Amino acid sequence: MEQEKLQHIVEAALFAAQQPLTLPMLAALFEEGDGISHEDLARAIETLGKTCDGRGIELAEVASGFRYQVREDVHAWVARLWADRQTKYTRALLETLALIAYRQPITRGEIELVRGVAVSTNIIRTLEEREWVRVVGYRDVPGKPALFGTTRQFLDYFNLKSLDQLPTLAEIREIADLDPQLALAPDPSLTGAAPQSDSPVDTDDGVTPDDATLALRTSEDAA
């Protein structure tokens, strides 16, 4: 099969798919007689990525595979297509998600200890329904509390290939210094939760809820 034809097939498959596609998933589109190897597909992906240079879309690799997506510099305009159905998440939910992402595996009790307030069951349920977090085990202490971690869907949503791509605290604080508007305003308090302090609560490894939340908010804006 000619390389140009292969590129057309891969491009069409990525465009039509409702999820990112891996090289094995793309390879499954071809029969053995087509003689298409993973190396051929990788070259096609590389070429297609280069053809996106200077355009409003890009071919990106995330945790679940390859996908076409809107470039960050035009995202603000394209996002207006879905303005009526955009979901707004509370500060409490984003802080909880951020702590799970940066401190995983972590229990609900440990999250509450860092945040200084109770974690609403609705928050955990929402994160699980979005398939952003899941139970990855149980702490070997009395009561066997569940340990939460992030999922591949979490990485895809925030445009990440792995957790190693999460912004470092130094990068987050530089962003905050450059653009104070990225700081989150307090959202309604959790049901049954005590009022939060105006000052963020530091975690044991230096990650504060505000810092980690800003990291996720910044990654989400770029997705």
pLDDT digits (tens, 9 = 90+) for 57-92: 999 999 999 999 999 899 889 888 876 666 678 888
Listed as own residue / partner, the contacts of 5-8 with beta carbons closer than 8 Å and 24 or more positions apart are 6/36, 6/40, 6/41, 6/44, 7/44, 7/47, 7/48
Could you give the residue ranges of the DSSP H alpha helices within the chain? 3-16, 23-27, 38-51, 72-78, 91-103, 108-115, 121-129, 152-157, 169-178, 209-222
pLDDT of residue 138: 94
* Residue 198 confidence (pLDDT) above 70: no
Task: Report the C-alpha gap between 41 and 37 in whole angstroms.
Answer: 6
Taking the whole predicted model, whether its pTM rises above 0.85 is answered as no
pLDDT digits (tens, 9 = 90+) for 85-120: 666 788 889 889 989 999 999 999 999 998 888 998
Top-confidence residue, 223 or 111: 111
| Domains of the chain, start order | 3-71 (1.10.10.10), 91-222 (1.10.10.10)
pLDDT of residue 167: 80
